[in-house]
Amino acid sequence: MKKKQPTSVVTGAAGFLGSHLADLLLARGHKVIGIDNFITGSVNNISHLGGSPNFKFIEQDVTEFIFLEVPVHYVWHFASPASPVDYLNFPIQTLKVGSLGTHKALGLAKIKDARFLLASTSEIYGDPLVHPQTEEYWGNVNPLGPRGCYDEAKRFAEALTMAYHREHQVKTRIVRIFNTYGPRMRLNDGRVVPAFISQALKNKPVTVFGKGRQTRSFCYVSDLIEGIYRLMMSNYHLPVNIGNPTEMTMLQFAGQIIHATRSRSKIVSNRCRRMIRNNAGPTSPAREKFSVGRRKFPCTKG
Ligand SMILES: NC(=O)c1ccc[n+]([C@@H]2O[C@H](COP(=O)([O-])OP(=O)(O)OC[C@H]3O[C@@H](n4cnc5c(N)ncnc54)[C@H](O)[C@@H]3O)[C@@H](O)[C@H]2O)c1
């Protein structure tokens, strides 16, 4: 007998990660319903899907009730401003989509008896005091600082997801995404990969903060999306970090970008940013390293 075609709902489908997820789901035979209000996303990210009979798009704010008449098998909740520039511009919308939006997306999963996956973040660890960060670490977050709108929204979203799992037995998954890069990132979205590439391509100074000793690890988008897909298909309901375990300093990274782009750029230090460190200002954590703790989770079906 022919296998029934699954239907996936992707919130934030017009964003960087949501659009790549929609591509992968369509390639794996899903029907996809994308929902987005374009607060930070772009129609350009999904315009190539316009002719697909398996892709439907709904322009909607997911903090409002999500009503769908069709059966739904998977809900992938990716809607949220994600770059520091965006969530500092939209702090209230960020808190609303993490709280009310997650509530509506979980409600949809519950009523449809669908599996639910929350796109959470390494930022829930705040300015971590433990390196590398395993999923057991509870984090070091300042709720009052400008970044608190994002970190606390995601922490609330994780707590709500676990509550739906425990109280309503919704089959939930939580992925904590570490820095990811790839096509469809906006050059001006404030994240370090497009920022360095854009500076290097223009032969402009590549700016690191302080001495550039902050470390990050970067995961390519297709690797991340594959990991997320496998997590959804697994039986594992506790949070899972997904990222690249190779850590490098911003100085090393700037050097690699200059080398790869054959740029004449020089690396310069932007010292102002040092004054707003320690999670009191809009800077990022001094050290953020992916831990390989729970990378293996049992998969049921693909
Ligand atoms: N890109 C990363 O490196 C990274 C790292 C950690 C976590 N994440 C998480 O992954 C998800 C996607 O991130 P991204 O990088 O694709 O960001 P993005 O800004 O490119 O995409 C987010 C999408 O959500 C949409 N959106 C926001 N609020 C909405 C609302 N109320 N209703 C409907 N749509 C709404 C935006 O318009 C946008 O299209 C986010 O939840 C983010 O927190 C991303």
Task: Supply the DSSP string of 108-146, one letter for each residue.
Answer: HHHHHT-EEEEEEEGGGGBS-SSSSB-TT---B--TTST
The answer to whether the CB of 34 is under 6 A from ligand 1 is no
Model pLDDT for residues 8-40, shown as the tens digit of each residue: 999 999 999 999 999 999 999 999 999 999 999
What is the CATH classification number for the domain harbouring 86? 3.40.50.720
Residue bearing tokens 């820095």: 179
Which domain, by its residues, includes 149? 7-181+218-242
Q: Which residues of 24-39 are buried (b: 16+ CB within 10 A; e: fewer)?
A: bbbeeebbbbbbbbeb
In a domain, 153, yes or no: yes
Residue 130 has pLDDT above 80, yes or no: yes
Mean predicted confidence (pLDDT) in 121-150: 94
Q: For residue 202, is it within any domain?
A: no
Question: Of the residues 125, 150, 164, 236, which is catalytic?
Answer: 150
pLDDT-based confidence at residue 274 (cuts at 50, 70, 90): very low
Q: Residue 140: beta bridge partners?
A: 126
**Which three-class secondary structure string do you get for 171-200?**
CEEEEEECCEECCCCCCCCCCHHHHHHHHH
> What's the gap in Å between 92 CA and the centre of ligand 1?
15
Residue 225 in any domain: the answer is yes
229 tagged catalytic = no
Is the pLDDT assigned to residue 289 strictly greater than 70?
Answer: no
Q: Beta strand pairing status for 172-177 and 115-121?
A: parallel
**% pLDDT > 70, the chain:** 89
Q: Is residue 36 part of a domain?
A: yes
Residue 38 domain-assigned? yes
How many domains would you assign to the chain? 1
Band of the pLDDT at 279, cuts 50, 70, 90? very low
Nearest ligand 1 atom to the CA of 185 is 20
In a domain, 273, yes or no: no
Residue 192 is assigned to a structural domain of this protein:
no
Domain assignment present for 258: no
Q: Which two tokens stand for residue 146?
A: 């400008």
259 CA distance to ligand 1 middle (Å): 30
Going from the Cα of 176 to the center of ligand 1, the distance in angstroms, rounded, reads: 13
CA distance 35 to 32: 10
236 vs 76: CA distance, rounded Å: 15
